[in-house]
Amino acid sequence: MPLPSLYMVETSATIWQTWLLLDLMQQKQVGDLVTEKELGRLWLYRIHKRHIVFRSLPMAPVAVEQPLFEYIEVLCRLGMLTYITSGVYKIRRPYTIPKQTSDAFLEDGQMMKRWLNQAKEVT
């Protein structure tokens, strides 16, 4: 069943973002190039497998690919990817999974501090 062009992601961001990172890091290593087309294929694969689920919200429509493009931008801001040229990025650092919950909370806090500092610089 093809998806209509305007939808909103119902799957938790933590889940669909983790799927994409795990899929990407299985295929690529630090220093490798990745394209939006490759990420789009991973995205569509997870949609096809129903690991990423959408719901229709006619009053707040989002193109199916929009969350993916926004996530790529976040990965660039976090230093995981570097923009090379239109649709091409370089992997700068690996994705790591914290072994303990306390480590995960610590990393989340550090990331939020960096994110807020960047937001302050922009405003």
Percent of the chain clearing pLDDT 70 (strictly above) = 88
Residue type, 67: P
How far, in whole angstroms, is CA 77 from its chain's centroid?
A: 11
pTM of whole model > 0.85? Answer: no
Least confident segment among 5-9, 25-29, 38-42, 63-67: 5-9
**Residue 50, phi-psi category: left (phi > 0), alpha (psi -120 to 50), beta (remainder):** left
Task: Write out the two tokens for 112.
Answer: 């939020």
Tokens 């959408």 — which residue? 54
Instruction: Please tell me the distance from the alpha carbon of residue 60 to that of residue 58, in angstroms, as a whole number.
Output: 6
Q: Quick one: which of 74, 76, 72, 80 has its CA closest to 37?
A: 72
SS3 88: strand
Q: Provide the token pair at 18.
A: 């983790």
Q: How many H-runs (helices) and E-runs (strands) does the chain carry?
A: 4, 6
Digit-coded pLDDT (tens) for 61-115: 667 788 899 999 989 988 889 999 999 999 998 877 777 888 777 877 777 787 7
CB 91 within 8 A of CB 22: no
Query: Would you call 2 helix, strand, or coil by DSSP?
Result: coil
